Amino acid sequence: MNKKEHWIKSSLLAVLLYAILPNLLFWMISKKLGLDRPVFNIDYLLVGVVFAIGWRVVAVVLLGIFLVGDILVVTSFVYPFVRLQDVAYLLSLLPYAASVWQIAAAGVVLAVIVVLVIAYHYSRKVGQLAALVLFNIGLVAYGTTVYFGDEKLDVERWYRGPKEALIGSQTLFFYETRTAGFVASANLSREPLQEIGFHGASSLWINSAQPLNKKLLLVVVESWGVMKDPRIQAALLAPLRAEQARFDWMNVTQREGAVATVMAELRELCGLHTENYNLKSVTKGFEKCFPWQLKNQGYNTAAFHGAAGVMYDRVYWYPRAGLDAVQFMETHSWETRCYSFPGACDREIMGKYIAHAFEGDKKQFVYWLTLNTHAIYDKRDIYQDKFDCPRYQLKEGSETCRMTKLHAQFFHQLAEVLASPSMRGVEVLLVGDHYPRILDKDEKEANIEGELVTQVHLRVKD
């Protein structure tokens, strides 16, 4: 083989090993989920240089680190997390997760092993010059992208992925999206929490000129958006409509959803916005939250959420927001377990706690963040099938079908709870946090209406 042929073969192998092979899995995932991941990750081209100079063990370790970093970025799009400790918590839930997640996790581990073995075995056939040329081409392309692109990191996109580009660094993206807000706070250029005023659903109470009702229930409903088919919207709310004779009024509206659940919570409870979700050490900024306003008026406050309190530091910031009696998965011995996002089942919270939280004549505010309608809408959580998907042209078993069945189930049990004697006189405000996260981009665009969420305001008659 002459030098020219050897150079061509070496260059093609370098492209295959460091540009195509490690990116292939993430290309497929990004395509499926509609993520804006760069086509090429320059981190892997750097690994090629390390292999080429003979540090093969170091290169394998470095490749493993970069692959794990890529995995963490993709994981954060589906289950946003703040700290690496949160990843450990999510991994601890894997035995209880849907089989599709368990299979996916096993497949990713296998894919990483295959990439590492192939790279280690064939890297010796790539010449130093070919690896260096490939890396320098990538470096020039990356520099050009950064120079002509938007250099300001849009931290509100941290859960969606970096802006679509030909080449980028997933490691750098992971680092920036988890430090930008904290660096800004450390430099005192911006407080972790910013007041935006009460413009969400709760503004109906906070900005009202009328005296507040003695009994208030605020429910942020996980993944409750707006369906494009109005028949589905009507079918979901049918259980509440059927009980309308029990209500003084019932108003249904739509509004813009939040970026993520915790943003919706801060908006509704406190009129706040945050650019990072690391709220454990944030002690200032919660003084004007709605629960504090209610406590000053003599209300008792309580909160329920079926997931662990460490997620998004709710165990820390809920009390700072004025919520006193707080129940999480770890604070009670629950009889049920649900799986869409592992935790206690909403039906148990409804039946045992929401239905009895307003007994007596005291002023009471209850906040409840639901859980079981979280992506990926595990079919094991469908214990009452109250929605006929084919009737509304939804494919049986699809993400949208499962999600809709879970919402239908939720509203059927909620209607039963609102019919109980203890709920008389309770004013209820339900609002979605964000549109449903449908992993199949085409399916989402076909069925979900933009960035909107649904809101219901009603009062149960005395």
Domain residue ranges in the chain: 3-178, 193-460
Enter the CATH code of domain 193-460.
3.40.720.10
At residue 271, what is the residue type?
G
Question: What is the pLDDT at residue 341?
Answer: 86
Task: Report pTM.
Answer: 0.75
Q: Which residues pair with 194 in a beta bridge?
A: 273
Question: What is the pLDDT at residue 409?
Answer: 97
Q: How many CB atoms lie within 10 A of CB 274?
A: 22
Rounded CA separation 34/55 (Å): 36
Q: Report whether the peptide linkage leading into residue 53 is cis, meaning its omega lies within 30 degrees of zero.
A: no
Question: What is the pLDDT at residue 35?
Answer: 67
Question: What is the pLDDT at residue 185?
Answer: 37
Cβ within 8 Å of residue 74, ≥6 positions away: 26, 29, 30, 33, 35, 37
Q: Is-contact 367 269, C-beta < 8 A? A: yes
For tokens 């946003």, name the residue: 80
Query: Which stretches in the chain have pLDDT values below 50?
Result: 150-162, 181-190
The single-letter DSSP state of residue 192 is S
Question: What is the pLDDT at residue 179?
Answer: 58
Question: What is the pLDDT at residue 227?
Answer: 96
Rounded CA separation 204/202 (Å): 5
Question: What is the pLDDT at residue 157?
Answer: 42
Q: What are phi and psi of 252, to 5 degrees?
A: -120, 125
3-state helix, strand, coil in the chain (%, to 5): 50, 15, 35
Question: What is the pLDDT at residue 81?
Answer: 63
Run of H or E including 67:
helix 56-78
Q: Is-contact 459 204, C-beta < 8 A? A: no
Distance of CA 317 to the CA centre of its chain: 18
The tally of CA atoms less than 13 A away on the side-chain side of residue 20 is: 8
Question: What is the pLDDT at residue 25?
Answer: 83
Sign, Cα dihedral of 383, 459, 304, 265: positive
At residue 311, what is the residue type?
M
Question: What is the pLDDT at residue 108?
Answer: 85
Report the candidate in 412, 88, 33 with the shortest Cα–Cα distance to residue 238.
412
Q: What are phi and psi of 343, to 5 degrees?
A: 170, -170
Question: What is the pLDDT at residue 155?
Answer: 38
Cβ within 8 Å of residue 47, ≥6 positions away: 18, 22, 59, 62, 63, 66, 119
Cβ within 8 Å of residue 143, ≥6 positions away: none
